[in-house]
Structure 1
Amino acid sequence: MLDLVINSSRDDINSGRLTILGATVPVDLSALDFSTSPFADPGRAMWWRSLAWLAVLWLPEGRSAPDTTIPDPIGAIVTAMGNTPDPGWDTPEARSLARASGWDEATNTRREQTLNCLFELSGDGRLVPLLTTLAQANLDPARYYGPPSRVAHNHGTMANLALMDTAHLLGDTELATRARARLLEAAHRVFTARGYTFEQSSDYLEFNVQMWTIVAALFSADPTTPVETLAALTAALSRARTMVAHLTDPTGHPAAYGDSRRSPRPVPPAQQSFTTRDDQGGIAAGRWSWTNRLTSWWSLRYGPPRRMHGHQDHGSVNWSTLRVPVLVDPGYLGNDPALPLVAWQSSPAAHNVAVPDDGKTRAQPASSTIVRRWRDGRVDGVVVAVATWAKPLRTMIIVDDARRSLTLTTIMRGAFTTHLHLDPCWTQIQPTATARRFSCRGRVLTVEVGSQQTTVYRGSTDPIAGWVFSTAQVSTPAIELAIAGLKSQQLTLTVSRSTTSPTPS
């Protein structure tokens, strides 16, 4: 993951250039100052203060001394941290200063991870007091992102794993005991009963599975771990891995719900069931085979109000068939507020949903529910009551594996626009009088729109429309259809094999 965030090589750092998430700034270790940041947006500033970028001087070979012409980089860290000590978290003024100098929980955890790495490689004793101070800040209950004061969250798990690493490096058994106690308290609060994450993001589901797999190994190696706790965590991880499989289409593309990206994964392993439904997490999905990659697959978002890494995506459906992804969730670009696409990425219009045309109707925090769901042979149907808007919205999705079709029926008072986002592989070809048509890898997609006003966007910046995000800070143009509806609307999408070379529109 680090190479996706830190885009600088060892030579870049030695030459005084630092690139984080695609933005490059000059860097001078002799003037390292955590009270300011060369990056304006908070995400890059966090990674700057984390010092993760400095680890490239020791990596990837894992050398004991940095490969650099910069004199004493560890000394520069010691000086910089000495100039910006932890102000605590007790007052508004202290919290403001902590956020501005890297002592908030997110930055502090990553800085502790970095210095753990550097200490393990270098053995430099000057890092010991710094690690002790970082660990104390991570132990601060007011800063801890986890129970009992806050919900279980990946930040809290990362903090505790960093503390376990620090405890191992420093031989601090008390520190290990305290971190382990917090992990034990959070272990049963991470995943829903059916295996999704309360953080409402398919990427963070996978990240939590990775971290809690490490935690399970730590628990297993500790004879004091309650047997029932380890058994419950092992079962929860099994359910979560099953959910990851259900949320990956037959081509290896993830559903990319919430703060997630559409970077391909391995084709999912076979599971016992072809469908899943998690009302607690707000996820449903289905397919007709785990081995035939031509099978149809769909997923649906609904459930509790938006929280943490979730988007305004209730009612949004993903769909793949005939070995090509068709309807996709655009995913997550980043958190730089200066980028217009960042505000768009979590909005309803950035998902496969209907949006009221009345500008006064705002999205609201409410739970959406599945009213009915059925499977009849090779046909799946779902009816969902979407509570995103003050006015009622009901959507019915019918996926027909035999016909390679998806029918979307929407009922809402007044005028609305249905947004449909296609995978970037699709290009527009010659339409018919009642349908828009698209081509991708020997397949043709026909969207029956009738006489309804339909606008096709691809990589538009005014208005923002037609984008997909597969990599950090990278925007890929993709087809988006905006289809006008009034009171009710039925759209049918069908994929077929192409028999001739498509004619571009």
Structure 2
Amino acid sequence: MLDKKRGIIGPGALALTFLTLLACGPVELSLADSRGTVTCRPGQFSTVTGTDAMRGRVAFVGLPPVELGKDVDWRADPYRNRSWALNLHTLRWMGRLVVDYEANGRREYLDRAVEIARDWVRDNLRGKAGISPWAWAEHPVALRAPALVCLSAHVKDDWLAASLAEHAEMLADAALYKGGHNHGLDQDIALLGIGCRFGEQKWTALALRRMTASAELAIDAQGVLREQAPRYGLYVHQRMRVAMDEIKDCGAGMPAELTRRWRSLEDYIAHATQPDGRLAPIGDSPADLRPKGISPGEDTVKVFTGGYVFGRTAWNDADSAYYSIRFGPGRALHGHEDHLGVTYHARRRDILVEAGFHSYEKTPYQRWTLSPQAHNVPVVVGADFREGTAARLLGETAGRTRQSFRLADEAYGLTRTRSVLVEHGTDLMAVLDAVPPGRQVRPLWHLGPALSATAAGDGRVVLADGRWRASLIQLEMPACRPIGGQSVRSGEISPGYLKRIRVPTVVSPAAGALLTVVVPGAADPEISCSGGNVRVRTPDGMVSFTAGVSTGLF
């Protein structure tokens, strides 16, 4: 059990300070006189069960349970984990007790919820020395407010009214507002809830106005979220649904643009979902996340000008091949340094993967997952990487059975280009990387965790999963000749939050221009190349294409 550690303020002074807050709070409001709407939705509160919350036992973000006991130490951080500490102060686990009380009618659940909330308010006076930095951080404030609003459906005490008013003042503060960000959306949901509860039009109007402007900033016309991670597209989509339900409950008018942006997000999420149901692990997107209730898109291949290409052979088909390509604005928010990077899923297997999302903890490994070396990108030999560099889509040809794309950036102080060609049916993928004369590029290829890899010589690497085989073949261009020197090293990816597993990583030989061909289903496919004309015999037929250093793949 965690021991309670009190601050330096004595009991008498603390009580006086608390009473002063009630008497001289930022806004004098009364819950007893309020007839406003109370929104108390079970889905927005903690996965901690009511039974565990009654015992003072909580488990956050997949970490082992912690016994908080009856008297909570609000400075507790047993795992030195940012997400755990944030969840403690959101009080969503307290909100779960209120929801369970409404379902089971057991008064002790409500009484315990009141004890927890009142203890938090007493022990975490804003500005008090020694309190947790998470107590009044902007995101916990936004996530805690709905739980307090939920409690206010059954508790009319002045201490709760004063705390809600203080939360509203912070949520309305322009200096603390995170517009165009998922935190800003949570702030608006919270402010709207408090405004509706008290019938305070100034708060509800501000929340609606900011929410619409923030959605226009955060989500482009195609539905791409500027936070650069499909996982946050899913989160914002879910939270916007909560916001729209709350707007209806509040009796306010629904902003049309808010609805449009919400619908456009769904297309982005659908295209970012692999045939096996998992989100592509791009940016801070966990590799084990499976969106629910998202309708399939219309096109099998779509270019999002915000920085993504997503392609598949078919919707609603687990045997479909699938790829992603990154370009667009430089890294920001939840993005990684993955520009020009590709992922590939075919024959029900992850073939080319990203490092994925590990955590928000500031560790060397977490920092590495953000780096170019954690992604399937061309690394320029002997040049320094320039963080935050944008990448351009130079051209595209998207047919029903074949697509090709050409991209470029100056992330190493010179122009590096990457061309990608995908052939549906045979599931062949070809990638051509090039840098200016006199320089060399060395692509990295992180393979799926089910695969093993063996350098077989003559520019070939054999991939295996049991008896199944695939091949990765490399040719130096424009000479059109096989190039050896591939090495297979043990790398790491994150298959889920705080998880790390070993995967094979192919380090390519250095060359001025290098063509990489991935052939699923064949260990030693026949390949020929002359004058830039490439022919590959796959298990499903012959594939021919042209590879030009200055023109790309077609």
Maintained 8 Å contact 1:320/1:327: yes
Q: Provide the C-alpha distance between the structure 1 equivalents of 2:85 and 2:373, rounded to a whole number of angstroms.
A: 29
Distance apart, 1:46 and its partner CA:
1.8
Q: Provide the C-alpha distance between the structure 2 equivalents of 1:405 and 1:415, rounded to a whole number of angstroms.
A: 25
Where does residue 23 of structure 2 map in the other structure?
Answer: none
Where does residue 103 of structure 1 map in the other structure?
Answer: 136
Q: Deviations over 1:75-100 (max 9, x none)?
A: 3532442333223xxxxxx9x98972
Q: Which of 183, 186, 201 is the aligned partner of 1:155?
A: 183
SS of 2:510 mapped into structure 1: strand
Distance apart, 1:313 and its partner CA:
0.7
Query: 2:239 aligned with 1:211, yes or no?
Result: yes
The alpha-carbon distance between structure 1 residues 442 and 6, as it changes in their structure 2 partners (threshold 3 A), is farther
Distance apart, 1:425 and its partner CA:
2.8
The alpha-carbon distance between structure 1 residues 371 and 38, as it changes in their structure 2 partners (threshold 3 A), is same
Q: Provide the C-alpha distance between the structure 1 equivalents of 2:245 and 2:515, rounded to a whole number of angstroms.
A: 50
The alpha-carbon distance between structure 1 residues 8 and 451, as it changes in their structure 2 partners (threshold 3 A), is farther
Q: Deviations over 1:270-304 (max 9, x none)?
A: 4332322222x111222343254433322211111
Q: Provide the C-alpha distance between the structure 2 equivalents of 1:195 and 1:114, rounded to a whole number of angstroms.
A: 30
Q: Provide the C-alpha distance between the structure 2 equivalents of 1:197 and 1:24, rounded to a whole number of angstroms.
A: 34
Superposition map of 1:397-416 within 5 A: 397-412=420-435, 414-416=439-441
Q: Provide the C-alpha distance between the structure 1 equivalents of 2:113 and 2:248, rounded to a whole number of angstroms.
A: 38
Query: 2:91 aligned with 1:51, yes or no?
Result: yes
Query: 2:382 aligned with 1:350, yes or no?
Result: no
Where does residue 275 of structure 1 map in the other structure?
Answer: 301
Q: Provide the C-alpha distance between the structure 1 equivalents of 2:130 and 2:418, rounded to a whole number of angstroms.
A: 48
Maintained 8 Å contact 2:344/2:350: yes
Query: 2:73 aligned with 1:32, yes or no?
Result: yes
Q: Deviations over 1:140-167 (max 9, x none)?
A: 1111112xxxxx1111111111222333
Q: Provide the C-alpha distance between the structure 1 equivalents of 2:294 and 2:166, rounded to a whole number of angstroms.
A: 43
The alpha-carbon distance between structure 1 residues 481 and 208, as it changes in their structure 2 partners (threshold 3 A), is same
Maintained 8 Å contact 1:58/1:67: no
Structure 2: gaps spanning 5 or more residues: 1-41, 475-481, 524-554
Superposition map of 1:330-479 within 5 A: 330-337=355-362, 339-358=363-382, 361-412=384-435, 414-428=439-453, 431=456, 434-440=459-465, 443-449=468-474, 450-458=482-490, 465-469=491-495, 471-479=496-504
Q: Which of 157, 162, 179 is the aligned partner of 1:129?
A: 162
Normalized against structure 2, the TM-score is what?
0.74
SS of 1:30 mapped into structure 2: coil
SS of 1:299 mapped into structure 2: strand
Normalized against structure 1, the TM-score is what?
0.81
Distance apart, 1:452 and its partner CA:
3.5
Maintained 8 Å contact 1:5/1:20: no
Q: Provide the C-alpha distance between the structure 2 equivalents of 1:241 and 1:441, rounded to a whole number of angstroms.
A: 37
Structure 1: gaps spanning 5 or more residues: 88-93, 147-151, 459-464, 499-505
Where does residue 114 of structure 1 map in the other structure?
Answer: 147
SS of 1:486 mapped into structure 2: coil
Q: Which of 483, 490, 493 is the aligned partner of 2:515?
A: 490
Maintained 8 Å contact 1:29/1:73: no
Maintained 8 Å contact 1:457/1:466: no
The alpha-carbon distance between structure 1 residues 237 and 446, as it changes in their structure 2 partners (threshold 3 A), is same
Maintained 8 Å contact 1:254/1:262: yes
The alpha-carbon distance between structure 1 residues 396 and 119, as it changes in their structure 2 partners (threshold 3 A), is same
The alpha-carbon distance between structure 1 residues 133 and 85, as it changes in their structure 2 partners (threshold 3 A), is same
Q: Deviations over 1:72-127 (max 9, x none)?
A: 5533532442333223xxxxxx9x9897252121121122133234444x536353
Q: Provide the C-alpha distance between the structure 2 equivalents of 1:40 and 1:49, rounded to a whole number of angstroms.
A: 14
Maintained 8 Å contact 2:458/2:484: no
Maintained 8 Å contact 1:369/1:386: yes
Superposition map of 1:171-250 within 5 A: 171-217=199-245, 225=253, 229-230=255-256, 232-250=257-275
Mean alpha-carbon deviation: is it higher for 314-323 or for 263-272? 263-272
Distance apart, 1:255 and its partner CA:
1.8
Give aligned-pair identity as a percent: 18
**What amino acid sits opposite 2:406 in the alignment?**
V
Where does residue 85 of structure 1 map in the other structure?
Answer: 125
SS of 2:471 mapped into structure 1: strand
Mean alpha-carbon deviation: is it higher for 238-247 or for 286-295? 286-295
Q: Provide the C-alpha distance between the structure 2 equivalents of 1:476 and 1:66, rounded to a whole number of angstroms.
A: 46
Query: 2:329 aligned with 1:304, yes or no?
Result: yes
Distance apart, 1:198 and its partner CA:
1.0
Q: Provide the C-alpha distance between the structure 2 equivalents of 1:396 and 1:45, rounded to a whole number of angstroms.
A: 44
The alpha-carbon distance between structure 1 residues 105 and 478, as it changes in their structure 2 partners (threshold 3 A), is same
Tell me the C-alpha RMSD between the 2 structures.
3.6
Q: Provide the C-alpha distance between the structure 2 equivalents of 1:406 and 1:157, rounded to a whole number of angstroms.
A: 39
